[in-house]
Amino acid sequence: MNTNTNIRAKLLISCLDRPGIVSTVSTFLHQYKANIVQSDQYSTDPSGGMFFMRIEFDLFEDSYEFNIVRQAFSEIASSFDMDWSMELASRRKKMAIFVSKEDHCLLELLWKWRAGELMVDIPLVISNHINLKDDVEAYGIPFFHIPVNKANKEEAEREAISMLHKYDVDFIVLARYMQILSPDFVGTFPKKVINIHHSFLPAFIGANPYAKAFERGVKLIGATAHYVTNDLDEGPIIEQDILRVNHRYTTEQLRVAGRNVERIALSRAVTWHANDQIIVHGNKTVIF
């Protein structure tokens, strides 16, 4: 076969585990002349647990169109009561970035995007401060300043939501955006807002984690990337990373080391989300 005519697609599935799921899905793809190039699966318990699956497959120009295959799969999904998604691998998700004053996570994402390591489009960056406007616009990305205070918070969120809809954004990354999002905002983008928390959750929830870590004399510091829910800092964890420290580290040295860990954990989480490698189930994630 001429690989130049391949159309790569990705299928994510979650449902109650029972016999015949893998066979049925494989048979379906075979009927539509698809070639499975990668398949991963996981069951919490083969006897009535939850089943998760991710498949990458190729369609060919001389067989069936992608939209026909996706529409036909809905019958299979209904028969197993699946939560599922099927996307073209070539479709680049539109990622909005929210940021405040700290630039390390923002610049990490922008650098990876420009280097071609993060396969997304970034139609806009929104900030409640003006500080990083020049940095963002140097990458040719529109920067929007939406100030937030106690008096205008609801109005500011409505403005941000309107802009996200205008740019048809697929998901949002909070790159050290130091505002708590309202339930209305979170409910508008369920499982589509990724936050980086500047500590190894569930330890040191809230503000000033490095001061708290210093006071406790910790030997490890970390960062946690997670989906945002209405429970502060308790959404499904996507990625965590740690760095060993010792008694010689000051609060500021802990903060500097922590920024390095934050960049790594966030960029991994964003990459996995952009590549359709994550399935959210309850307050946990399955990552293939």
Contacts of 147 (CB under 8 A, 6+ apart): 128, 129, 156
Q: Pairing between strand 278-281 and 284-287?
A: antiparallel
Tell me the backbone φ, ψ of residue 55, rounded to 5 degrees: -130, 135
Q: Active-site positions? A: 233
Tell me the backbone φ, ψ of residue 212, rounded to 5 degrees: -65, -40
Query: Which amino acid type is present at position 163?
Result: M
